[in-house]
Amino acid sequence: MRASLFRPAGTVLSTALFTAVALFGTSAPASATDTAGPRYYLALGDSLAAGYQTLPGGGHVTGRGYAQDIARTLAARASAGGGSFGFVGLGCPGETTGSMIDGGCPYPHSYADSQLAEAETFLRTHHDARTVVTLDIGANDVDRCMTAGNIDVACTVAGIGKVRSGLDTILDRLKAAAGPRTRIVGMNLYDPYLAAWMTGSQGRSAAALSVPLGDALNATIGLTDALHGIPTADVAAAFRTNSFLPLTPLGGQQVPLNVARILQWTNMARGDIHANDTGYQVIADTFLKKF
């Protein structure tokens, strides 16, 4: 994951999303249909799914993110109920919707084919098992559209189009491979570009523009999920992405709440867009509400 970006992209997208949910619905939480809870948890996506974080003194780690937080919670629930539990994390830093489908994630990974093909194999192999799947993908399709505090709107719009078509293919294939007791939950994105607010007037303008662009990306993710009957964990809302008010104290000054959340829950203070431990737990908790 690199970026999230913007505010609901207008009445048409909002109405379409509402209609899609009304027509297709979303699958019922696993707890409503299967009190034993999931036996397997499959985490799919990019660097957020991989639990990527930079370290204060340099370097980075993986395996310290929301998927691990979710896995610990589900494992504890399974243990309390006397059941077994298995966690499989396939998230690959740098993954785009295209590379998830075709292969070629730039970060070292354990599977020879694409992440999507590996996920399909897992789901078919465990077709009848109680399984929950989380998916975050799409941020890297737009992450190069902001440089030096400037946002390339045309680049962002083109990237959102790639997310729509790529996510549609990904969800079609996941649902085709999934068994009757598999629950898939998508995720929208927080907006790391809000941190530019702290860099002066040009940065404030870029931060303000990033919110409506990010909302358009998130509306696209939410609509595509809904058309496939898949719920979306509203991470953008959890991070208060649209809340320029109220102002809140941070580092001796008053800043918009959404800016404060990005600086408190990610590593953007040192230029790393990835969530920190607190932010990853927020994402995990947002997902868990959908299980």
pTM score, whole prediction: 0.87
Question: Residue 54: beta bridge partners?
Answer: 60
Average confidence (pLDDT) over 8-35: 40
- Residues with Cβ within 8 Å of 242's Cβ and at least 6 positions away in sequence, in order, are 7, 211, 215, 236, 258
Res 33: pLDDT: 42
Distances (CA, A) of 248 to 191, 193, 254: 18, 18, 5
Res 35: pLDDT: 53
**Percent of the residues in the chain that have a pLDDT greater than 90, as a whole number:** 82
Q: How far apart are CA 184 and CA 291, in angstroms?
A: 9
Q: How far apart are CA 204 and CA 27, in angstroms?
A: 40
Distances (CA, A) of 159 to 4, 64, 145, 195, 243: 11, 28, 8, 21, 25
- CA-based nearest residue to 221, from 211, 206, 231, 212: 231
In the predicted structure, residue 231 carries a pLDDT above the cut 90: yes
Copy the structure tokens of residue 25. Answer: 């619905």
Give the start-to-end residue ranges of the domains of the chain: 11-191+201-242+276-288
Res 146: pLDDT: 77
In the predicted structure, residue 169 carries a pLDDT above the cut 90: yes
Give pLDDT tens digits for 37-89: 789 999 999 999 999 999 998 999 999 999 999 999 999 999 999 999 999 99
- CA-based nearest residue to 211, from 258, 144, 150, 162: 258
- For domain 11-191+201-242+276-288, give the CATH number: 3.40.50.1110
Give pLDDT tens digits for 140-163: 999 888 775 788 999 999 999 999
Q: How far apart are CA 62 and CA 93, in angstroms?
A: 9
In the predicted structure, residue 7 carries a pLDDT above the cut 60: no
- CA-based nearest residue to 156, from 216, 106, 196, 202: 216
Res 148: pLDDT: 59
Q: How far apart are CA 211 and CA 217, in angstroms?
A: 10
